[in-house]
Chain A
Amino acid sequence: MNNPPDVSQDPKEYEEYAHGIQKHVRGYLMVGALLLTFTAITVALSYVDFGTRKANISIAMLVAMLKAGAVAAVFMHLAAEKRLIYRILIFTGFFVLGLFWLIFLAWYDYPVFR
């Protein structure tokens, strides 16, 4: 979903613009409804036994990532942003993944993980 363009002072163009924004508003409402639905799904799935707790956690995190993706793409307008924002986020992603990787490095220090 692209970001709405800036408003025009021309009355004719404004009408077209307002119509365009209305379309975005419908999109925001749909994503909101989707997020609420997925919240209910997350709660329901947590009471289903998928065999191991690891499986339950993985499924819940998958749903959480879908929800987070929808918030980031639509509400935070990341589906269509300028290149500089993506560059900032690539660096952030790299460092935060590095941070989580440290936990896996600790695998070799603590026998309990193995």
Chain B
Amino acid sequence: MAQQDNRSNDVAAPAPTLVHGAGPDAATLVDYYRQMVLIRRFEEKCQEMYTRARIGGFLHLYIGEEATGVGAIAALRPEDHIFTHYRDHGHAIARGLDINVLMAELFGKVTGCSKGLGGSMHFADASKNFWGGYAIVGSHLLLAVGVALAMKMQKKDSVVMVFFGDGATNGGEFYEALNFAQLWKLPVVFVCENNLYAMGTPLEVHSAVTEIYRKACAFGMTAERVDGNDLLTMREVSLRAVEHARSGRGPVLLEAMTYRFRGHSAQDTQKYRTREDVERHRSADPIERFRTWLINEGIASAQQLRAISDAIDDQVEASVRFAEDSPEPGYEWIMQAGVYAAPIAVDPPIHGE
């Protein structure tokens, strides 16, 4: 069982073990595999397009953390809500956003999910209750709590899941968010993706408490640490957390232990960790781990999974073509309705143009 802590903070978390109860059917399990591979291939293609200067700005890849996002989001219903941080590609794909509109967003095209105005850090799709990626570390937690407040006031039983990193748990907004959520018993599942680094600063250098889930103790909040690289464990623990939140018992903090295989962003030279460290983590690749399990359990054959992977390669190539063929947003956006839902014309106009 994953470590659970809702009372004291003096119990160290043992390494979580796999939990496989009455789980999902074979087709669903294979689909989780598909989602993870789709994220991996999409991200690899993003890196390639970034190197070829087709993608601008910052690029934060989710490679290595796929099981956390896919496992957690698998626990949600369509009417539930998601907020995430700037490393948002994986969550968007796991929520079912079309990779065509995601690649188009990265290319700055008007067909992008945010019309080419947000870029890599600001994927969103309101129609899927995917409220977007936010790039000010830790501060989107409060927005997520606000949506949860709205759900409670509207007497809906939707849950809000919000993703953030270990580096987001030291700023004041994290503590304000946890306090509000617990104080008002709001349906929030806080998912901390602990990848051991706040950008390039190691966990033990940036946080007085390195077991992030223990930070929930100050608020009397239920919290668990979970192996975020084990898809099924992540899913099961998330289901439990979501159920807890949905039942009106208040929020839950999950600490998903994971690791990003690539740098913080595409420019990162990774001086803060050794190649050996990265290789050691790579050898426990969450996708390979799940693939092996699917085959060993007889849920899918190697050929079947290879066919899925091949189809994804084609899908990713097609997303690049879609992005390349799409038009760019025009100047009229700047002069017209881009900034306000209800623009107010003034005379003389603000730019004097």
Do they bind each other? no
Q: Which residues does A use to contact B, with CB under 8 Å? A: none
Q: Which residues does B use to contact A, with CB under 8 Å? A: none
